[in-house]
Amino acid sequence: MRKTLMSALSGMAVAVGMTGLVATAQATTWDMPTPYPDKTFHTQNILQFSKDVEAATGGELKIKIHSAGSLFKHPEIKNAVRGGQVPIGEFFLSLLSNEHAVFGADSQPFLATNYDEAAKLWNSQRPEVAKLLDKQGLMPLFSVPWPPQGLYTNKEIKTVDDLKGIKFRAYNAMLESFANKVGAAPTQVEVPDIPQAFATGRVEAMITSPSTGANSKAWDFISHFTDIQAWVPKNIVVVSKKAFRKLDKPTQEAVLAAAAEAELRGLAMSKKETEEKIKILKDNGVIIVAPSPELMAGLKEVGKEMLVDWKQDAGAEGEAVLSHYRQ
Ligand code: PCA
């Protein structure tokens, strides 16, 4: 009797196991590396995107998010998608500015400094970005801006000269060149490593959003936030065209619809958090400073110089972006 029951049970287990196997063989799971920690609004938005895709496809396509550079480090994410190691990924668009200056248009100081200008700039930039990515077998799915970028320091900054000699955290080639131009000493540091970089004295100032400042608990290592609103950079989510083509038509459409929603939701989240995160900085003792006219004039001068360099580097594609943007 015991033996019969056992074999009946194991027979059932085999049957259940087989059904499980059939189900997983049909469904697709995409691993998706992202650079920023879970509580970042971009990551929250992408988690919702993943849920939306799973719901819309009845579980046919699952997107598993690997946040904070846990699967691939940020600078490797784009090439991981390009090389087919993962089908989809998120990264900071202007991180690619060392491949082509056009990718860095949104990190050009004082070219687009609020959400409306940033949307207009993205409209002008998107066709060129899409063409460049297409050559690498990649397709943009959606893009979401960060809040306008501000200056975090451990003293009051009244003029550009006050930035001289400061060890400056950078997140792309443009910010590095900006830091060099103001006489600061730049070092690349990814978001998850910011607290450690300040704690060990590798850096002592940064330009980033209220989001990244508040999420990094900037009050532990800086005293002043100067609201210079210097540019509005974006993250982009790209998919490998090859992986996308493998999906059936309804699944492809579900991905595109969820992406369009994510772009709108992400923008709303970004806008909402600008004020919220500045308030958190303030509540934790950071001194919020409106920039002096001298400081702004000096920073804009640096922006002008950088735009000259940028135009040269960005060539015909850059011209197309700028002339469309300025129409
Ligand atoms: N946070 C990211 C990119 C821009 C931003 O606001 C960072 O600091 O790296």
Tens digit of pLDDT for each residue in 134-172?
Answer: 999 999 999 999 999 999 999 999 999 999 999 999 999
Q: Is the pLDDT of residue 174 over 80?
A: yes
Q: pLDDT tens for residues 282-297?
A: 999 999 999 999 999 9
- Considering only residues 210 and 15, tell me which one the structure prediction assigns the higher pLDDT: 210
Give the C-alpha separation, 4 to 24, whole Å: 30
Nearest CA to ligand 1 atom 6: 209
- Residue 235: strand pairing partners: 92, 144
Once rounded to an integer, what is the mean pLDDT over residues 263-279?
Answer: 97
Q: Give residue 14's pLDDT.
A: 45
Closest C-alpha among 168, 245, 177 to residue 201: 168
Closest C-alpha among 207, 239, 13, 286 to residue 141: 239
Closest C-alpha among 229, 211, 208 to residue 275: 211
Q: E strand or H helix at 272, and its extent?
A: helix 249-283
Number of CB atoms found within 10 A of residue 272's CB: 12
Nearest CA to ligand 1 atom 4: 208
Spacing of C-alpha 31 from chain mean position:
17
- The number of the ligand 1 atom at minimal distance from the alpha carbon of 92 is 3
Q: How confident is the model at residue 206 (pLDDT cuts 50, 70, 90)?
A: very high
Q: Is the pLDDT of residue 177 over 70?
A: yes
DSSP structure string for 208-258: E-HHHHHHTTGGGT-SEEE-------EEEEEEEHHHHHTS-HHHHHHHHHH
Nearest CA to ligand 1 atom 8: 208
Per cent of the chain over pLDDT 70 is 92
Q: How confident is the model at residue 61 (pLDDT cuts 50, 70, 90)?
A: very high
Domains of the chain and CATH, by start: 29-146+233-279 (3.40.190.170), 150-230+287-325 (3.40.190.170)
Q: Is the dihedral of CA 121, 300, 323, 91 positive or negative?
A: negative
pTM, to two decimals: 0.92
Whether 203 and 167 have beta carbons less than 8 Å apart is answered as yes
C-alpha distances in Å from residue 54, one per residue of 5, 61, 143, 175, 314: 38, 6, 20, 37, 39
Q: Is the pLDDT of residue 18 over 70?
A: no
Q: Give residue 9's pLDDT.
A: 47
- The number of the ligand 1 atom at minimal distance from the alpha carbon of 147 is 6
Per cent of the chain over pLDDT 90 is 92
Q: Give residue 12's pLDDT.
A: 47
The response to whether residue 274 sits with its C-beta less than 6 Å from ligand 1 reads: no
Residue with tokens 């594609």: 317
Whether 238 and 141 have beta carbons less than 8 Å apart is answered as yes
Ligand 1 centroid vs 191 CA: distance in angstroms?
7
Check residue 200 and report its DSSP letter. Answer: T
Once rounded to an integer, what is the mean pLDDT over residues 76-102?
Answer: 98
The response to whether residue 92 sits with its C-beta less than 6 Å from ligand 1 reads: yes
- CA Rg, the chain, in Å? 23
Q: Give residue 3's pLDDT.
A: 47
Q: Give residue 26's pLDDT.
A: 74
Q: Is the pLDDT of residue 2 over 60?
A: no
The three-point CA angle 68-259-209 to 5° equals 45
Q: Give residue 137's pLDDT.
A: 98
Q: Is the pLDDT of residue 64 over 50?
A: yes
The response to whether residue 208 sits with its C-beta less than 6 Å from ligand 1 reads: yes
